[in-house]
Amino acid sequence: MDAYEFIKEQIILGKFEPGMRLGEETLAKELNLSRTPIREAIKQLEAEGLVIPLKRGVGVRSFTKEDIRQIYDLRTLLESYAASQAAIHRTEDDLLELENANEQYEQAINHAVSLDMTGIRKIVNVNQKFHEAVVAASNNNHLYFHLSKVVVIPIVFRSFYWYNDFQLQQSLEVHKIIFEAIKNKEPERARIAMHEHIFQGRDNVLKHLDDIEISHLLKEEVK
């Protein structure tokens, strides 16, 4: 695993926590690399919005609830539009990609005996494959650029980390509805289904952040 993949994975898994300073020298020693590939990896992660400049060096980006709300609001606008356009422009090859992605998604969900990190990582990856296939079917290359700035993987990862079995099955069923709408060339149905799908993810993240805050306050009151 190269420097970029290592640092990104540590951020996604929460081992490099929000606000944590990332020192080039420390990372170079940990990975047994020179500082040049570390510096290049950090530049790439900064471009993706996963790290931000500090007075000295860079740190892992943290997200407020308002950040998360705004990110998901943008996602639902872009991805619901992509779904509606996919229903208009999709090809038979696009349908095969979407169907294959959904089959892999179902397998990943059903085979995740327990939602450990490996299982969640697999679910996140195949979920992303489905969403990327929707964008590809929309036949609008500009959507890739804008969505790459909005889909923040650590937030997506945590949303799945907090899903229970019922919510995962619910997510799969919405994927199937989106697929059928695209297959049957129903742009408005595809748009509405994707819109609700993204908002369900947003609500799940915000709910658990509220629960964490309440739990923290209760612990403080006990002290």
Candidate ranges 148-162, 177-191, 192-206; pick with highest mean pLDDT = 177-191
Mean pLDDT, residues 63-91: 93
Structure tokens that stand for 143 in this block? 């959507």
What is the pLDDT, as a whole number, of residue 80?
97
Mean pLDDT, residues 4-17: 84
Give the percent of the chain with pLDDT over 70: 89
183 has pLDDT over 90? yes
Structure tokens that stand for 211 in this block? 């629960």
What is the pLDDT, as a whole number, of residue 179?
98
* Burial status of residue 162 (CB atoms within 10 A of its CB: 0-12, 13-18, 19 or more): middle
Rounded CA-CA distance 176/89 in Å is 18
Q: Which domains, from first to last, does the chain contain?
A: 3-60 (1.10.10.10), 65-220 (1.20.120.530)
Name the H helices within the chain.
3-12, 24-31, 35-47, 65-89, 92-111, 117-137, 142-150, 153-161, 165-183, 187-222
Between β-strands 51-53 and 21-22, what pairing exists: parallel, antiparallel or unpaired?
unpaired
Rounded CA-CA distance 28/25 in Å is 5
pLDDT in tens, 209-218: 775 554 444 4
pTM of the full structure: 0.80
What is the pLDDT, as a whole number, of residue 42?
94
